[in-house]
Amino acid sequence: MALAFTSGHMGDSVVATQSLGMSMLKLPPPIWALIYLVLAALVSVAYPWRQLLDLRSVVIGVVLVIVGLVFSFWAAILFGREGTELNPMSETNKKLVIRGPFLITRNPMYVGLVVTSLGIAVIVGSLPMFLVPVLVFATANWGHIPFEEAKMRRQFGAAYDAYTGKVRRWL
């Protein structure tokens, strides 16, 4: 979890930042993505962004959404088959899954969520929608993934370290 220090009492900043991070973790990343999509849609409706710059491409957007969903569901189904937890807030995981999409990235569900939200942005074509994949990435990368990596490292030790040495966090 990223820690920010500000002027004043350093300990207070650490506690506040850790509390914010833990609060963010209470909502799973797909819920954050939905919140960001709704907010971007409201901003898109409030101002005619596409009159300034129309970035729509329905075909490319649909392809991105399909690729993102397939990648996410492939990883989720594999978790189910392996009998490990899908909930990122679980205290432990029963197994370190390192096959299928996990050979390409350590976070295929997050990659899929970012790609899906990018596809939605491309379908809609409104500039504010293109902030959504950036926000989804930031939320996962600095809010959720550090917590999950620490949990996996505590639980699987050297096996997890070996895996992280071979497979990148994203792509």
Q: What's the pLDDT tens digit per position in 50-68?
A: 778 888 999 999 999 999 9
Structure tokens at 164: 């992280």
Task: Walk along the chain (171 residues) and give the pLDDT tens digit of each residue.
Answer: 333 333 344 444 333 344 445 556 789 899 999 999 999 999 999 988 877 888 899 999 999 999 999 999 999 999 999 999 888 777 778 899 999 999 999 999 999 999 999 999 999 999 999 999 999 999 999 999 999 999 999 999 999 999 999 999 999
**pTM across the whole model:** 0.84
> Which pairs count as long-range contacts for 44-48, CB under 8 Å and 24+ apart, including other chains?
44/124, 44/126, 44/127, 44/128, 44/129
Element (H, E) at 149: helix 145-166
Q: What phi and psi values does residue 62 have, to the nearest 5 degrees? A: -65, -40
Contact assessment for residue 128 and residue 53, using Cβ atoms and an 8 Å cutoff: no
Q: Which of 102, 97, 57, 58 lies closest to 80, judged by CA? A: 97
